[in-house]
Structure 1
Amino acid sequence: MFAEIRDRLLREKGNLRNIAAQSGVPYPTLTKITSGAVTDPRISTVQSLYDYFEANPDAAESGTSANVH
């Protein structure tokens, strides 16, 4: 599951701040995941990102995600 999450984050690399705000996963953690510095994140991190992508299924496919106001 982590590999799929990482792939989706890489496709959404320009929206990591938005993903961080909506998922509750800190932005620095997302950058470490996408850079490969983190290869074994906490289960709670993977779950939060999984939940985010489940709630926003078009985010990675369309290259956009909802804006945080």
Structure 2
Amino acid sequence: MLKTVLRRLDDAKGEWPRIAEASGVPYQTITKIGGRFVADPRVSSVQALFDYFAGQPEETAAADSVQASH
């Protein structure tokens, strides 16, 4: 679950303030997790981010499938 959250945060770097607001996870916490400053983040924070991303389309996957079809 943490690997998924880290990958999605990497893909959405400029959107962290919006993600913080929508997920309920403080922006500072997202910067610490996304920047790999915290090796073992709280399960509740990771779960909240995972749940947020589960409801969002994965942009890189969509872009890859569009490119593959051309």
Unpaired stretches in structure 1, ≥5 consecutive residues? 63-69
| TM-score normalised by the chain length of structure 1 | 0.79
* Residue number in structure 1 paired with 2:5: 5
Partner secondary structure for residue 41 of structure 2:
coil
Matched residue type, 1:17: P
Partner secondary structure for residue 40 of structure 1:
coil
* Residue number in structure 1 paired with 2:27: 27
Q: Deviations over 1:9-65 (max 9, x none)?
A: 011010000000000000001111111101211111111001101111345656xxx
Unpaired stretches in structure 2, ≥5 consecutive residues? 63-70
Given that 1:25 and 1:48 are in contact with CA atoms closer than 8 Å, whether structure 2 keeps it comes out as yes
Matched residue type, 2:21: A
Higher-Rg member (1/2): 2
Partner secondary structure for residue 41 of structure 1:
coil
- Give the whole-Å Cα distance in 1 for the aligned partners of 2:61 and 2:38: 24
Between structures 1 and 2, the one with greater helix share: 2
Q: CA RMSD in A?
A: 1.9
Change (3 A) 1:11 1:24: same
Given that 1:9 and 1:16 are in contact with CA atoms closer than 8 Å, whether structure 2 keeps it comes out as yes
- Give the whole-Å Cα distance in 1 for the aligned partners of 2:58 and 2:10: 15
Count of residues paired in the alignment? 63
Given that 1:12 and 1:60 are in contact with CA atoms closer than 8 Å, whether structure 2 keeps it comes out as no
